[in-house]
């Protein structure tokens, strides 16, 4: 049976099943993890290796219109970072926004087998899916941007909540999305319609609507919970990057009133200080709130020194950064749905704010009492490329290394945080949580992030090394869906990967309400908007949870 | 089945970059002819109504009829025997076909380029230099109260651009349509388009850059002397008034065409324009957009970019993508006599490239894929007749504003799609080159 694989003698970390470094046998058959396989099945002797579930990235920007703009935009970051063709594995280019094939292969080389594109205007979903088809190996899905959706906001301001919920469900189906993303709720209207301004307060009225950011946030948190989506509302809070924004972040979390919510790249939302002045760290306040509120989860959005690309639906933020750096800049509005800003960026050790951001991210990881709710991300490529994950893991596992790195950064910034007082070193078990088990669980992907029977056979084997950065940089074996992608450090066959999406039920009558809106506001026909099933021929519908 | 005509609603016209998706096609009872194309403009009507399934052979090798299989083998043979195969065209086919073409270039360590290099290549380069502020066309329809066209004649090249996107549409923010907008045109001569403009600036040929730079200075509040009029044909007073209007609008847009990209200054012109628009964002919301010509040239840019990182003029000689316009753009590769095989998809360089390039085309083996014979296909070693995208072939195309749409073909063609032919050639190349899944048996 060529589809069966036995992995023996490896040190297994599988937090969802409570397995912490035991020497344990893992059996694979037909793409799944099984109890046992025939004795004569092919076998990997994983002696000296660590066996982990494939990594799961809960938040990154890897496919779609804005990503492709960022690729075309930065030839300067590609020439020195190429990825040659290897037999049938396609060539590509890197930089902080790699080409599609290179994105898939590089993720897999690190041992990641699932990644979620975090910001797609539904009008661009078709484009995103096209790119995801060309992003090999990994399974993937995407969140659709709904917090600046003119049609939804009109329903909301009129208090038509039942229709609002149906419309959200319709939109997820139409775009083949996995989840609902909020970016700078309410900020598009002042940006597009009022001379590039913004909203700054959750209770401020949004120009042109009888609505506040808080009402949008509340409605989408409730709706995602009510629909039983596998992943709750995924929120990029208002006031990203602004000094003093931690109060907005806490207010946003409070708006959930105990219901499930995910706050993304929370590092960028954990600043004290006054607007216009240098930020300070409020990692403690944010951590305390999350530690005490089990309905809230977050990913960190760690900043890593070096090149990055700012790429976000938060157009006013990018404009502000553009005016600080005076670098080349992209703005791209999507009708009725979203804004977008793109800017090449570089985080530098000696700069106060950058060093502070770096330290705050680490504080957030290390102060989290529950690693299941504070998971790993760099908001790729915003805080830095996903290629930094191995280094980030080492920073979390190796206190000495962390102190050495902190010594190279702006001391005023570092000393204004509690980073140097944090003695915690994460264990391999905890790393397995924040990079595998927890993101899978938060995403509601029951078959991922673990090595229990019935799980997808997405498995990574690393040589057990002292230097965790070196260890996580190059997986020795990567098994995806039961097939080898990397075997003994070498690429094997290419692998397509699946598109994960949801299909919440909705009342078909809602289309009669949405269609007239399209006629007034959109430039494409309503009938040409929904994405045909043929686009996700290799898709997997992740079920919504039964509602109680 | 037969006997009654068929109607296809919300069909998509790929004749120009407007990619209108509201066409209602009527196919006659024989299922081989479109008799009506409601909502289409004169160009779109001609595109649909004049489409016939002709009785061409599916393929020719050295001018002689051949089967599809024979032609695929012959084409793969040409490709694998070449040291510097070049693939060109791609702006009038589906993204699905474009993907196969890039794969072939990758597997051959060849060269790939699209018609972007001869229309908005300078736009791509300027964009790399300074970025852009842009929007989907619906945002312009909804909000733009100041609309400017520079170096283009949409009334004739994109006939429904005014009606659908930028000038006439009413919206909740623009309840009176055109009356709520100011329309400005910049060109070197009056055109059909300039007739509808509220403001027309007839500028001296070749002075685009100077004029744009002068406007940038005014936006930034710098003093200019009156010599700008002598150089550009536009008086300082008019220019000041115009710039003030641009700063005062609520949502401005600046469209630009090949009158800017393909004249003196090229990517400098576009860079100046894109930067002017960025500068205006200090005062108000302002966006820009190239008015792209071919139905899916924007898709070609996108596909080549997501697969390689660069959107045209890409070379794989070293086993990975490199980009250098002027070096890897097809007109240059041919003009220097470098390529030793050429594959052209839905384009006709044999009729519109330089004499030197055409001479070289005639001296090397050429493969063509096109629904109709072309000047280039007359010289082809292997010429495929393919089905027409949008009319016979489904797939994805991108509007000039990067909005993707799925085609709704009207009827089947006896000819294969570009995608099918390219995929078969790719698979044959992989066989010949021994490029196979490196699937080692487990441990
Ligand atoms: S404007 Fe262009 S896309 Fe629209 S109908 Fe005319 S030719 Fe076709
Ligand atoms: Zn993000």
B279-321: pLDDT as tens digits: 999 999 999 999 999 899 999 999 999 999 999 999 999 999 9
The pLDDT confidence band at residue A350, using thresholds 50, 70 and 90, is very high
**Best CA proximity match to A445, nearest among A61, A21, A116, A12:** A116
Contact criterion met (CB < 8 Å) for A525 and B172: no
Out of A396-405, A415-424, B53-62, which region has the weakest mean confidence (pLDDT)? B53-62
The pLDDT confidence band at residue A493, using thresholds 50, 70 and 90, is confident
* DSSP, res B127: H
Q: B418 to chain A nearest CA, in Å?
A: 18
For residue B25, the number of C-alpha atoms closer than 13 Å in the C-beta half-sphere is: 30
Point out the ligand 1 atom lying closest to the alpha carbon of residue B42: 6
- Model pTM? 0.97
Please say if the pLDDT value at position A124 is more than 90: yes
Chain B interface disruption, residue of A523, A532, A534, most B CBs within 10 A: A523
Point out the ligand 1 atom lying closest to the alpha carbon of residue B160: 1
Which CATH code is given to the segment(s) B59-119+295-403+414-433?
3.40.50.740
Give the H/E segment covering residue A70. helix A65-73
**What is the dihedral sign for C-alpha B339, B342, B345, B349?**
positive
Please say if the pLDDT value at position B72 is more than 70: yes
Closest in B141, B302, B319 to A68, CB measured: B302
Please say if the pLDDT value at position A351 is more than 50: yes
Q: Which CATH class is domain B121-290?
A: alpha beta
Give the H/E segment covering residue B123. helix B121-130
Please say if the pLDDT value at position B439 is more than 70: no
B15 lines ligand 1 (CB under 6 A): yes
Chain A CB contacts of B106 under 8 Å are 85, 90-91
**What is the dihedral sign for C-alpha A363, A364, A367, A372?**
negative
The overall average pLDDT reported for chain A is 97
Please say if the pLDDT value at position A236 is more than 90: yes
For residue A277, the number of C-alpha atoms closer than 13 Å in the C-beta half-sphere is: 5
| HEC letters along A297-351 | EEECCCCCCEEEEEEECCHHHHHHHHHHHCCCEEEEEECCCECCEEEEEEECCCC
Between the CA of B22 and the centroid of ligand 1 the distance, in Å, is 10
Point out the ligand 1 atom lying closest to the alpha carbon of residue B158: 1
Contact criterion met (CB < 8 Å) for B442 and A79: no
B272 lines ligand 1 (CB under 6 A): no
Contact criterion met (CB < 8 Å) for B131 and A328: yes
Chain B CB contacts of A477 under 8 Å are none
Q: A95 to chain B nearest CA, in Å?
A: 10
Q: Atom 4 in ligand 1: which residue has the minimum CA distance?
A: B20
Q: Are strands B64-66 and A296-299 parallel, antiparallel or unpaired?
A: unpaired
Please say if the pLDDT value at position A465 is more than 60: yes
Helices (H) and strands (E) in chain A, counts: 18, 28
**C-alpha to C-alpha distance for B150 and B234, rounded to whole angstroms:** 14
Please say if the pLDDT value at position A324 is more than 70: yes
Contact criterion met (CB < 8 Å) for B95 and A92: no
Contact criterion met (CB < 8 Å) for A85 and B320: yes
The overall average pLDDT reported for chain B is 95
Closest in A63, A79, A87 to B438, CB measured: A87
Considering every ligand atom, which ligand is closest to the CA of B43?
1
The pLDDT confidence band at residue B3, using thresholds 50, 70 and 90, is low
Q: What is the pLDDT of residues B355-393, one digit of tens each?
A: 999 999 999 999 999 999 999 999 899 999 999 999 999
Q: What is the pLDDT of residues A422-441, one digit of tens each?
A: 999 999 999 999 999 999 99
Between the CA of A379 and the centroid of ligand 2 the distance, in Å, is 5
User: For position B440, what pLDDT does the model report?
Assistant: 41
Is B241:B276 a contact under the CB 8 Å cutoff? no
**Best CA proximity match to A457, nearest among A168, A139, A179:** A139
Please say if the pLDDT value at position A547 is more than 60: no
Q: What is the dihedral of CA B323, B325, B327, B333, to 10 degrees?
A: 110
**C-alpha to C-alpha distance for A396 and A468, rounded to whole angstroms:** 10
Beta bridge partners of A483: A480
Q: Atom 3 in ligand 1: which residue has the minimum CA distance?
A: B19
Query: What are the structural domain ranges in chain A?
Result: 51-499
Q: A90 to chain B nearest CA, in Å?
A: 7
Q: What is the pLDDT of residues B202-258, one digit of tens each?
A: 999 999 999 999 999 999 999 999 999 999 999 999 999 999 999 999 999 999 999
Q: What 3-state class would DSSP assign to B125?
A: helix
**Best CA proximity match to A138, nearest among A111, A120, A119:** A111
Give the H/E segment covering residue B7. strand B6-11
Residues A112-137, mean pLDDT to the nearest whole number: 98
Beta bridge partners of A304: none
Contact criterion met (CB < 8 Å) for B309 and A328: no
The pLDDT confidence band at residue A494, using thresholds 50, 70 and 90, is confident
Q: Kindly state the percentage of chain A with pLDDT values over 70.
A: 99
Closest in A72, A82, A192 to B143, CB measured: A192
Query: What are the structural domain ranges in chain B?
Result: 59-119+295-403+414-433, 121-290
Helices (H) and strands (E) in chain B, counts: 17, 20
The pLDDT confidence band at residue A360, using thresholds 50, 70 and 90, is very high
B41 lines ligand 1 (CB under 6 A): yes
**C-alpha to C-alpha distance for B442 and B271, rounded to whole angstroms:** 54
**C-alpha to C-alpha distance for B209 and A246, rounded to whole angstroms:** 46
Beta bridge partners of A312: A341
Residues 297-356 of B with CB under 8 A from A: 301-303, 305-311, 316, 318-323
Residues ≥6 apart with Cβ < 8 Å to B237: none
- Residue B317 tokens read as 């000689």
**What is the dihedral sign for C-alpha B96, B99, B101, B104?**
negative
**Best CA proximity match to A354, nearest among A271, A431, A290:** A271
Chain B CB contacts of A191 under 8 Å are 285
Chain B CB contacts of A494 under 8 Å are 437
Question: Which residue of B137, B160, B255, B391 sits with most ligand 1 atoms within 8 Å of its CB, as the best mutation to test the pocket?
Answer: B160
Is A383:A301 a contact under the CB 8 Å cutoff? yes
Which protein residues have their CB within 5 A of the ion that is ligand 2?
Answer: A 118, 379
Please say if the pLDDT value at position A537 is more than 90: no
Chain A CB contacts of B9 under 8 Å are 527
Is A234:A182 a contact under the CB 8 Å cutoff? yes
**C-alpha to C-alpha distance for B101 and B312, rounded to whole angstroms:** 13
Please say if the pLDDT value at position B442 is more than 70: no
Residues A146-151, mean pLDDT to the nearest whole number: 98
Is A439:A57 a contact under the CB 8 Å cutoff? yes
Between the CA of A132 and the centroid of ligand 1 the distance, in Å, is 30
Question: Which residue of B11, B15, B389 sits with most ligand 1 atoms within 8 Å of its CB, as the best mutation to test the pocket?
Answer: B15
User: Radius of gyration (Cα) for chain A, nearest Å?
Assistant: 22
Chain A interface disruption, residue of B283, B306, B325, most A CBs within 10 A: B306
Out of A374-378, A495-499, B395-399, which region has the weakest mean confidence (pLDDT)? A495-499
Chain B CB contacts of A100 under 8 Å are 306-307
Question: Phi-psi region for residue A324, left (φ > 0), alpha (ψ -120 to 50) or beta?
Answer: alpha
- Kindly report the number of other CB atoms within 10 A of residue A54's CB atom: 31
Residue A410 CA, chain-centre distance (Å), reads: 28
Chain A CB contacts of B404 under 8 Å are 124, 126-127, 130
Is B107:B433 a contact under the CB 8 Å cutoff? yes
Q: A244 to chain B nearest CA, in Å?
A: 25
Considering every ligand atom, which ligand is closest to the CA of B399?
1
User: What count of CB pairs under 8 Å joins A to B?
Assistant: 215
Please say if the pLDDT value at position B100 is more than 80: yes
Q: What are the distances in angstroms from CA A345 to CA A96, A273, A307, A350, B306?
A: 10, 23, 6, 15, 21
User: For position B436, what pLDDT does the model report?
Assistant: 79
Q: What are the distances in angstroms from CA B125 to CA A40, A280, A317, B311, B320?
A: 59, 40, 26, 10, 20
B164 lines ligand 1 (CB under 6 A): no
Residue in chain B lying closest to A339 (CA) = B135
- Residue A213 tokens read as 């950011």
Task: Check CB contact of B177 with chain A, cutoff 8 Å.
Answer: no
Is A159:A166 a contact under the CB 8 Å cutoff? no
Residues 393-422 of B with CB under 8 A from A: 396, 398, 402-406, 408
Is A337:A521 a contact under the CB 8 Å cutoff? no
User: For position A546, what pLDDT does the model report?
Assistant: 67
Point out the ligand 1 atom lying closest to the alpha carbon of residue B19: 3
B40 lines ligand 1 (CB under 6 A): yes
Chain B CB contacts of A532 under 8 Å are 406
Contact criterion met (CB < 8 Å) for A84 and B319: yes
Is B208:B152 a contact under the CB 8 Å cutoff? no
Chain B CB contacts of A131 under 8 Å are 306
The pLDDT confidence band at residue A276, using thresholds 50, 70 and 90, is confident
Q: What is the pLDDT of residues A157-177, one digit of tens each?
A: 999 999 999 999 999 999 999
The pLDDT confidence band at residue A495, using thresholds 50, 70 and 90, is confident
Q: A192 to chain B nearest CA, in Å?
A: 6
Contact criterion met (CB < 8 Å) for B403 and A124: yes
**C-alpha to C-alpha distance for A309 and A303, rounded to whole angstroms:** 11
What phi and psi, each to the nearest 5 degrees, are found at residue B128? Answer: -60, -30
**C-alpha to C-alpha distance for A422 and B257, rounded to whole angstroms:** 59
- Kindly report the number of other CB atoms within 10 A of residue B196's CB atom: 16
* Peptide bond preceding A319 in cis form (omega within 30 of 0): no
């Amino acid at each position: 049976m060529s589809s069966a694989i036995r992995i023996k003698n490896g040190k297994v970390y599988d937090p969802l099943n409570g397995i912490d470094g035991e020497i344990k046998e893992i059996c694979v058959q037909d793409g799944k993890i099984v109890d046992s396989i025939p004795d004569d099945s092919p076998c990997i002797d994983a002696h000296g290796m660590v066996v982990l579930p494939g990594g799961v990235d809960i938040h990154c920007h890897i496919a779609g219109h804005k990503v492709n703009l960022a690729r075309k935009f930065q030839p300067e970051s590609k020439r020195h970072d190429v990825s040659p063709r290897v037999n049938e594995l396609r060539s590509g280019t890197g930089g902080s926004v790699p080409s599609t094939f290179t994105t898939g292969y590089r993720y897999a080389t690190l041992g990641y087998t699932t990644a979620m594109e975090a910001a797609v205007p539904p009008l661009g979903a078709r484009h995103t899916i096209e790119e995801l088809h060309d992003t090999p190996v990994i399974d993937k899905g995407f969140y659709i941007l709904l917090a600046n959706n003119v049609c939804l906001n009109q329903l909301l301001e009129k208090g038509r909540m039942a229709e609002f919920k149906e419309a959200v469900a319709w939109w997820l189906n139409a775009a083949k999305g996995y989840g609902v993303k909020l970016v700078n709720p309410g900020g598009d209207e002042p940006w597009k319609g009022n001379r590039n301004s913004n909203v700054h307060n959750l209770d401020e009225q949004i120009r042109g609507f009888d609505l506040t950011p808080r009402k949008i946030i509340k409605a989408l948190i409730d709706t995602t919970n009510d629909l039983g989506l596998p992943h709750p509302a995924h929120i990029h809070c208002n006031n990203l990057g602004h000094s003093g924004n931690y109060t907005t972040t806490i207010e946003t979390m409070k708006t959930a009133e105990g219901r499930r919510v995910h706050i993304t790249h929370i590092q960028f939302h954990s600043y004290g200080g006054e607007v216009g002045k240098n930020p300070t760290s409020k990692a403690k306040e944010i951590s305390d709130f999350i530690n005490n509120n089990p309905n809230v989860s977050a990913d960190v959005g760690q900043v890593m020194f070096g090149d990055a690309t700012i790429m976000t639906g938060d157009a006013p933020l990018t404009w502000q950064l553009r005016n600080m750096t005076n670098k080349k800049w992209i703005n791209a509005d999507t009708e009725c749905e979203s804004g977008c800003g793109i800017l090449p960026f570089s985080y530098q050790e000696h700069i106060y704010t950058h060093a502070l951001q770096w330290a705050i991210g680490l504080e957030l990881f290390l102060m989290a009492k529950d690693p299941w709710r504070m998971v790993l991300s760099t908001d790729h490529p915003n805080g830095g490329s996903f290629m930094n994950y191995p280094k980030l893991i080492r920073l979390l596992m190796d206190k000495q290394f962390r102190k050495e790195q902190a010594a190279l950064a702006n001391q005023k910034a570092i000393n204004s945080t509690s980073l140097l007082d944090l003695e915690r070193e994460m264990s391999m078990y905890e790393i397995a949580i924040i990079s595998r088990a927890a993101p899978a669980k938060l995403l509601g992907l029951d078959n991922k992030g673990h090595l229990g029977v019935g799980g997808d056979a997405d498995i990574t084997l690393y040589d057990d090394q002292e230097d965790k950065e070196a260890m996580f940089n190059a997986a020795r074996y990567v098994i995806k869906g039961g097939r080898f992608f990397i075997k003994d450090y070498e690429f094997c066959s290419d692998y397509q990967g699946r598109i994960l999406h949801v299909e919440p039920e909705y009342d078909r009558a809602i289309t009669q309400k949405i269609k007239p809106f399209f006629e007034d506001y959109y430039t494409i026909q309503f009938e040409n908007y929904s994405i045909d099933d043929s686009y996700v021929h290799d898709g997997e519908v992740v079920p919504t949870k039964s509602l109680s | 089945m037969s006997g009654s005509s068929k109607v296809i609603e919300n069909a998509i016209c790929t004749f120009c970059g407007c990619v209108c998706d509201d066409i209602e096609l009527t196919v006659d009872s024989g299922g081989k002819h479109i008799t009506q194309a409601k909502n289409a403009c004169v160009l779109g009507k001609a595109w649909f109504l004049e489409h016939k399934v002709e009785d061409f052979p599916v393929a020719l090798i050295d001018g002689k009829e051949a089967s599809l299989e024979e032609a695929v083998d012959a084409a793969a043979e040409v490709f694998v025997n070449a040291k510097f195969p070049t693939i060109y065209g791609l702006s009038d086919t589906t993204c699905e076909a474009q993907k196969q073409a890039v794969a072939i270039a990758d597997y051959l360590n060849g060269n790939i380029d699209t018609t972007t290099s001869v229309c908005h290549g300078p736009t791509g380069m300027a964009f790399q230099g300074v970025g852009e502020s842009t929007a989907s066309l619906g945002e312009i329809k909804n909000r733009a109260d100041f609309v400017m066209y520079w170096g283009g004649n949409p009334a004739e090249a994109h006939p429904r651009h005014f009606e659908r996107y930028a000038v006439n549409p009413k919206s909740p923010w623009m309840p009176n349509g055109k009356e709520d907008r100011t329309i400005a045109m910049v060109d070197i001569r009056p055109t059909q388009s300039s007739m509808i403009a509220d403001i027309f600036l007839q500028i001296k040929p070749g002075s685009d850059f100077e004029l744009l730079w002068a406007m940038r200075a005014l936006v930034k509040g710098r003093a200019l002397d009156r010599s700008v009029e002598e150089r550009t044909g536009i008086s300082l007073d008019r220019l000041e008034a115009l710039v003030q209007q641009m700063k005062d609008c609520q949502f401005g847009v600046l469209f630009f065409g090949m009158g800017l990209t393909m004249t003196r200054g090229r990517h400098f012109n576009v860079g100046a324009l894109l930067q002017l628009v960025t500068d205006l964002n200090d005062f108000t919301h302002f966006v820009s957009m190239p008015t792209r010509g071919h139905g899916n040239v924007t898709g070609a840019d996108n596909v080549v970019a997501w697969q390689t990182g660069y959107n045209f003029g890409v070379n794989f000689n070293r086993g990975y993508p490199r980009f250098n316009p002027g070096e890897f753009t097809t007109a240059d590769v041919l003009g220097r006599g470098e390529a030793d095989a050429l594959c052209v998809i839905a384009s006709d360089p044999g009729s519109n490239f330089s004499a030197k390039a055409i001479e070289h085309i005639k001296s090397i083996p050429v493969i063509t894929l096109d629904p109709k014979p072309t000047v280039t296909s007359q010289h082809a070693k292997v010429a495929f007749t393919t089905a027409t995208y949008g009319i016979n072939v489904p797939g994805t195309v991108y509007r000039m504003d990067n909005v993707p749409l799925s085609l709704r073909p009207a009827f089947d063609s006896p000819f294969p799609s570009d995608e099918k032919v390219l995929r078969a050639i790719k698979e044959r190349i992989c066989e010949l080159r021994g490029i196979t899944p490196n699937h080692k048996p487990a441990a």
